[in-house]
A and B are shown apart, each in its own frame.
Chain A
Amino acid sequence: DTGVSQDPRHKITKRGQNVTFRCDPISEHNRLYWYRQTLGQGPEFLTYFQNEAQLEKSRLLSDRFSAERPKGSFSTLEIQRTEQGDSAMYLCASSLSRTYNEQFFGPGTRLTVL
């Protein structure tokens, strides 16, 4: 399977704990995006990478959130000191720079903060 994969698919944590999610994009894709989606809303942009460079970060992404793509391949999204408001679906997508933004999404990681 050459699609975008995300791990874990589900994560339940207690408030105040740190969590880390992983995204493996389609291998030849050099752009990688992170989104957050809550019930009844569309995906909300968090950040994106071109290769290993983080080119944009939403102002909605507080300093508790950090994303990395160390070798331009997989990416991680870490949330420190989780809050109940962080409960959401976290989606990763990837694309080729030559195709204007037609992104391929992974299945998402559902986070529940108790």
Chain B
Amino acid sequence: DQQVKQNSPSLSVQEGRISILNCDYTNSMFDYFLWYKKYPAEGPTFLISISSIKDKNEDGRFTVFLNKSAKHLSLHIVPSQPGDSAVYFCAASGGTGGFKTIFGAGTRLFVKA
């Protein structure tokens, strides 16, 4: 039962352009959503999060949008840089699951110089 889905395994973007990574979830009880970035041979690192009471959170070049009615969130990176090339995981927690965190399968982002 995949409660958090990232349907695009990979995405390629030109440097300077916008990267948009998408994530869908099925459990309407989730109330906190996070994005993590992972480089090879390292553990995931926290990037940005959003509470279900908000629909947008911005941190520098990174913005997360939440559409609760569609059970969809997205991560926008503007402008994209070659150093952003990594695997991005969407994650969700809350509701009856408490602090248990469910991760998507990840999207590999390639930013071309």
Contact = CB atoms under 8 A, between A and B. Distances in A.
A103 B101 contact: yes
A85 interface: no
B43 A33 contact: no
Interface residues of A, number: 24
A4 B105 CA distance: 23
Contacts, number: 61
A101 B6 CA distance: 20
Contacts of A103: 46, 101
B83 interface: no
Interface in A15-35: 31, 33, 35
Interface of A: 4, 31, 33, 35, 40-45, 48, 55-56, 91, 93, 100-108
Interface of B: 4, 6, 9, 32, 34, 36, 41-46, 49, 51, 89, 91, 93, 98-106
The 9 closest A-B pairs by CB, nearest first: A105-B43, A42-B103, A43-B103, A105-B44, A42-B89, A102-B46, A101-B93, A42-B105, A107-B43
Given A105-B45, A107-B43, 10 more contacts: A4-B43, A31-B99, A40-B105, A42-B6, A42-B104, A44-B103, A45-B101, A101-B93, A103-B46, A107-B42
